[in-house]
Structure 1
Amino acid sequence: MLTKKVYVAVAVVLGALSIQGADAEENTTKQDDDNQETEVIEVVGEGIDGNGVYLEKDASSATGMGLTLRETPQAISVVTRAQMDDFALQNINDVLQVTSGVNVEKVETDRTYYSARGFDITNFEYDGVGVPFVYGNTYGDIDVAIYDRIEVIRGANGLMSGTGNPSATVNFVRKRPTDDFHASIAAIAGSWDNQRVETDISGSLNEDGSIRGRFVGAYQNKDSYLNRYSVEKEIFYGVLEFDLSEDAILTVGHTSQDNKPNSPMWGALTLNYTDGTQVDYDVSRSTATDWSYWDGTINRTFAELVYNLGHDWELVTTISKRKDTINSALFYAYSAGGLNPDRSGLFAYSSLYGYKNEQLLADIALNGSFNLAGRSHQANFGVNWSRSEADDVSVYGQDIGTSLPSFDDWTGDYPRPGFGPYENGSDFTDELKSFYAAARWSLADELSLITGFRSTSMDSEGTSYGQPKEYNIDNEITPYAGVVYDVSDNLSLYGSYTKIFNPQREKNIHGDRLDPVDGVNYELGIKGEFFDDMLNVSFAVFDTEQNNIAEYAGTDTTTGQDYFIGVDGVSSQGYEFDVMGQVAKGLQLSGGFTHVDIEGANGEDVRTFTPRNTLRLSGSYTFPEFEALRLGMNVRWQDDIYRDQGVATTGVNAGQPFSVEQDSYAVVGLMAGYEISDNLSATFNVDNVTDEKYLTSLYWAQGYYGAPRNYTLTVRWGM
């Protein structure tokens, strides 16, 4: 059930908003007009809980100029609130798993990597403002209750993110206050004793509607198909919006999320025997002990001031602060080349791990339009500064190297060892400064050219596990260019170019940070808008050349830290097809197909753990004759992947290289929604209908299995 502080927060906000509910309705039209002057992004949907179409028309995360999807010369996918609610997508992994062109590499229960077009995604934004990314992964079960939608801009996005990483940029768009009063609450129950409750309350807080607020809260407690694993989490989000004058709007907000996973996996299952053959486990198998945990807290605070300068120009100032903490007791089961035939051959590695990261960011952006040579053009200028301070410590267990019994007998009932006195860790600071500028030149009614650049400087100092972490980059220029040609009222051709310059945080076996990735990225495509602009369709081809790509090479058993190698001459070519919106009356679709070839300098396949072909497709249908009923389906398919693991040491294949494989597979989900009344609805979801058995990732040498067939029931009340 909800904790006491959730009850109190909900009661306070609900009471305040309900007092203003009637007055807010009288000001709805006026406030809607006012908001249109300052909102950068238009949302297509119904109410604060979605249930609208799977379409977002505008996106600012690629250029900062609030262009439509068709005007942006890059491939963009958007998962809307409606789609999240329809398919019970509760965390960022759920969302990105159904996003076209994105691969979710779940290497452990509480640590995940993401990739697109063959490369890791390391660029993240909140409301279009890029944020520092300390490591190449995310920790914990990051909830999405507080977000209105999640945009994914595929390809290099050095203009807005600061680096030209050619994979993708993920933009989290927060929910904002509404003028009129809305409230909703949802109770969710599912397989493995999944219990969740969400609330979302929004509206004006005074008579004239000049102060608006929104509160979002969620609490979840769930067990798992994995033995011993469970997660409890709490999410709070509060945001206030103030009309300081006719020309200025101040928004302040705060988010807090607490994750408390019990018996998480640090590392995962050893996937091979010493003779090179692949191990087959039950889906529920886990290496975790019954005493391990991986608690984490995320706090984000932001302030945004939008000032209308007149003449179609505005100044947007954003300041944000983030503080992450992790406190954990972890257990890792590793092998020295694989399992023996009796599934012995594992060794213990325990650690107490603590981590703290504090980030401060400031971004000032000036954007608007201007006239030149008889035509109207758009421009965006900005400066960005961030400082990230991180420190962590590993206190090593006194059991490291202890031989474990056969994994067939493993129940997690392993005695908690003593820890210390040996410990090691990191303490370093990253400071990032950049200036960016972009313009959209209207060369003709049908032709526009986007040009821009970003200048980036970075300074790092400190130590990481006994190694110095000195790192300096001065005024590295990342240019960007794109062109869009309107073939007709419905179709546009586009092309774009970005230089790739991507500082890396991955370290080699000696603890030294890898040199930045460099290269170029090209993209050509066609975009269309159909059915009164309610359907977006696009096709893109891309070509990327990169040097010094970080590739996971192992885990140092002395420090417990992952290390990487730099791979030169890596190229990525492919094509993508996307669809998003209303295909026919009542029929919504979102998804696409991606094909990618990834090769090394000599034409050899690299990053073979990345699928070359993927399909992501979600759809729902509302019956015209019976609009209360909505049925849906989503499909996630990928082709074969494999990972070279090493050389067999026993059996007939001794001395021969071997690999582990995951055959192609599809995960199918079904949805049925019913509007019981104007304010009450129920949605029933079945995920992995066919009970497909598959490894979640081969990104690392270890892995584990995805969830079998499971169910979720959501009952939602809203007004």
Structure 2
Amino acid sequence: MTEFRSSAGSAMKRASILALLLGGAALIAGGGVAQAQGSGRVASSAQTRQLDIPAQPLSTALTIFGDQTGIQVTGDTSILDGRQSQAIRGAFSPAEGLSRMLAGTGITYRWVDGRSVALQRAPQVSSGDIQLGPVRVEGEEGAASSSSYPGGNLRGASRDEMARRLNPQTTLGSKVAVSQRELPQSVTVITQDQIQQQNMITLNDVMLNTPGVTVFPFDSDRTNFYSRGFQITTWLLDGVPTNQNLATIAPNLAMFDRVEVLRGPDGLMNGFGSPGGTINLVRKQAPDRFTINATASAGTYNNVLGEVDVGGPLNRAGTIRGLLVANAQTRDLAQDGAWRHDKLFYGTLEADITPTTLLRLGASYNQTDQKAMWTGVPVYTNYTIVPIARSTYLGAPWNHDRYKTITGFAEVKQDLDGGWSSKLSFNYLQNYSHVKIGQIFTTVDPATDQTTLDASNGFEKDQQESVDVFVTGPVHLFGRTHHLTVGASYSREDLNVINRYCSDDNPFCTVQASIFDVVNLAEPAFNGPVWNQDQAIN
């Protein structure tokens, strides 16, 4: 494989990024209702450039093209042998300039991302010697994220553009990006555009809008997802397998670019895929041009939300890029005195170590605190619902749930000769929960309103480490080109569960009382037996 690369764009000082980040944070703190977007452009692949490349051997012309546009061109050198480029002179976007330069050469290209393209042979018609001109198969140029999943309507779009939007590529079910029609299973991609337009906040919102998926509340905090009659327990983070457990609540979407959902078994690429399906959460990546997005909103139930997303190149050559995301939300719940507070921080760095080597690092911290009714509306012994107002809170005054999720990741992607590439990924995930509740435990006597109240105090800590490595590329056999992928993955999970009880004879501090007495339930000391269990899963 031959690589063509040159530095792209002008410098963007880090101080400017920091200043805009602080400004976005101030917007969040203000609690107003506003949306702002800005872009201090560095080097966009959609921006026109002055090109001057004489007709010459194609391999040499592509080197000059990379120097003048900052676009990385990859491909098998054998397809360039003996081919001459067309001369181009004038102001063109990189896409238009490359198309003109490749006209009549029998070579076409596809966009890998906003900074690079891959060359390939153009298809030929089955009859005669007429060869098609360059076919452009490309993602949205220069997009910071969701590069393969642009939004907007299709009016005026070309045939290739319409096909790309209606049949976007995904890595779910395959280690390489393929269109959904190439996968033998049902896949739905919830794009960043859809997330923004439908104001989705957590994964629950995404799954409610995913065909063929049932969202089932497990309790007031946690949710289970079902597909084809089976629970979905397999999650991927950027394609690396992880595991869902009871310490998990639906994650905030602020750090994710899109969500890919596969329905049905997927153990081939994911090792321990569940029969219900797989959810792939794709993190946002550092953009190759400076962008800042800030959002603040307010609504009923004192619902205040703020988010800032800022990133771009950190050096003059654009070979080091960063992204920071901060999100905070506070709101009251439907019941009097109930509330929820969320906060999330996410950061990632990308570095082009060499023209063919990409390094990505990142980490996130997410915390949710909540006072809520752990169970739903109580029912009488005949299973009719107790007639209470929607705003009635039937829980202990000291109810408090806390969930924390910490992640870290690193990945190295290496382009190899002959169209081959390799990728090594590491994911670290830590889920922590502390649930302390007093609740209505049994059905209610319709004559006396008497029921059983109980209390519990539990902790869960789940740590997971996952490693995934694969090599993929074309293999030419029997006159055809095949695609071979070889890889391996390893995952380890350590789960620790602790429950603190009241006493040996009454571990859950149960008492008989009216359902309306639960709001005055005293907090127990929880100084009885302690149940501690550790479990390791490889």
Residues 319-372 of structure 1 deviation map (CA, whole Å, 9 limit, x = unaligned): 11112222332223211xx32114634222212222212211111111121111
The structure-2 alpha-carbon separation of the partners of 1:260 and 1:275, relative to structure 1 and needing over 3 Å to count, comes to closer
Query: Which of the residues 389, 408, 412 maps onto 1:305?
Result: 412
Q: How many Å separate the matches in 2 of 1:39 and 1:145?
A: 29
The structure-2 alpha-carbon separation of the partners of 1:331 and 1:368, relative to structure 1 and needing over 3 Å to count, comes to farther
What secondary structure is seen at the aligned counterpart in 1 of 2:416?
strand
The structure-2 alpha-carbon separation of the partners of 1:401 and 1:354, relative to structure 1 and needing over 3 Å to count, comes to closer
TM-fit CA distance, 1:227: 3.4
Partners of 2:144 and 2:289 within 8 A in 1: no
Q: How many Å separate the matches in 2 of 1:175 and 1:313?
A: 25
Partners of 1:118 and 1:167 within 8 A in 2: yes
What secondary structure is seen at the aligned counterpart in 2 of 1:94?
helix
What secondary structure is seen at the aligned counterpart in 1 of 2:268?
helix
Partners of 1:355 and 1:391 within 8 A in 2: yes
Partners of 1:55 and 1:78 within 8 A in 2: no
Partners of 2:328 and 2:342 within 8 A in 1: yes
1:157 aligned partner: 266
1:185 aligned partner: 294
Partners of 1:352 and 1:394 within 8 A in 2: yes
Letter of the structure 1 residue corresponding to residue 421 of structure 2: E
The structure-2 alpha-carbon separation of the partners of 1:159 and 1:238, relative to structure 1 and needing over 3 Å to count, comes to same
1:58 aligned partner: 169
Matched, 1:405 2:494: no
Q: How does 1:252-651 map to 2 (within 5 A)?
A: 252-262=361-371, 264-271=372-379, 273-335=380-442, 338-342=443-447, 344-397=449-502, 400=508, 402-407=510-515, 409-410=516-517, 412-431=519-538
Residues 645-702 of structure 1 deviation map (CA, whole Å, 9 limit, x = unaligned): xxxxxxxxxxxxxxxxxxxxxxxxxxxxxxxxxxxxxxxxxxxxxxxxxxxxxxxxxx
Q: How many Å separate the matches in 2 of 1:429 and 1:383?
A: 20
TM-fit CA distance, 1:98: 1.1
Q: How many Å separate the matches in 2 of 1:158 and 1:39?
A: 31
Higher-strand-fraction structure: 1
Q: How many Å separate the matches in 1 of 2:531 and 2:229?
A: 33
The structure-2 alpha-carbon separation of the partners of 1:42 and 1:381, relative to structure 1 and needing over 3 Å to count, comes to farther
2:179 aligned partner: 68
The structure-2 alpha-carbon separation of the partners of 1:413 and 1:130, relative to structure 1 and needing over 3 Å to count, comes to same
What secondary structure is seen at the aligned counterpart in 2 of 1:36?
strand
1:217 aligned partner: 326
Letter of the structure 2 residue corresponding to residue 76 of structure 1: V
Number of equivalences: 415
2:128 aligned partner: none
What secondary structure is seen at the aligned counterpart in 1 of 2:70?
helix
Query: Which of the residues 191, 194, 203 maps onto 2:312?
Result: 203
Letter of the structure 2 residue corresponding to residue 126 of structure 1: L
The structure-2 alpha-carbon separation of the partners of 1:31 and 1:44, relative to structure 1 and needing over 3 Å to count, comes to closer
Partners of 1:269 and 1:286 within 8 A in 2: no
The structure-2 alpha-carbon separation of the partners of 1:426 and 1:364, relative to structure 1 and needing over 3 Å to count, comes to same
Q: How many Å separate the matches in 1 of 2:250 and 2:338?
A: 13
What secondary structure is seen at the aligned counterpart in 1 of 2:269?
helix
Partners of 1:242 and 1:249 within 8 A in 2: yes
Partners of 2:144 and 2:285 within 8 A in 1: no
TM-fit CA distance, 1:138: 5.8
2:112 aligned partner: 36
Partners of 1:44 and 1:56 within 8 A in 2: no
Residues 358-409 of structure 1 deviation map (CA, whole Å, 9 limit, x = unaligned): 21111111112111111111122211111111112111236735334332x3
Letter of the structure 2 residue corresponding to residue 321 of structure 1: Y
TM-score, normalising length from structure 2?
0.70
Q: Which runs of 5+ in 2 are unaligned?
A: 1-17, 26-36, 48-68, 75-110, 119-136, 154-164
Partners of 1:132 and 1:386 within 8 A in 2: no
Query: Which of the residues 105, 109, 112 maps onto 2:220?
Result: 109
What secondary structure is seen at the aligned counterpart in 2 of 1:418?
coil
2:204 aligned partner: 93
What secondary structure is seen at the aligned counterpart in 2 of 1:244?
strand
Residues 597-631 of structure 1 deviation map (CA, whole Å, 9 limit, x = unaligned): xxxxxxxxxxxxxxxxxxxxxxxxxxxxxxxxxxx
Q: How many Å separate the matches in 2 of 1:43 and 1:131?
A: 28
Q: How many Å separate the matches in 2 of 1:119 and 1:47?
A: 36
The structure-2 alpha-carbon separation of the partners of 1:104 and 1:166, relative to structure 1 and needing over 3 Å to count, comes to same
Letter of the structure 2 residue corresponding to residue 172 of structure 1: L
2:256 aligned partner: 147
What secondary structure is seen at the aligned counterpart in 2 of 1:424?
strand
Letter of the structure 2 residue corresponding to residue 181 of structure 1: F
Matched, 1:176 2:285: yes
Partners of 1:371 and 1:377 within 8 A in 2: yes
Partners of 1:239 and 1:254 within 8 A in 2: yes
Residues 416-444 of structure 1 deviation map (CA, whole Å, 9 limit, x = unaligned): 1221221213111111xxxxxxxxxxxxx
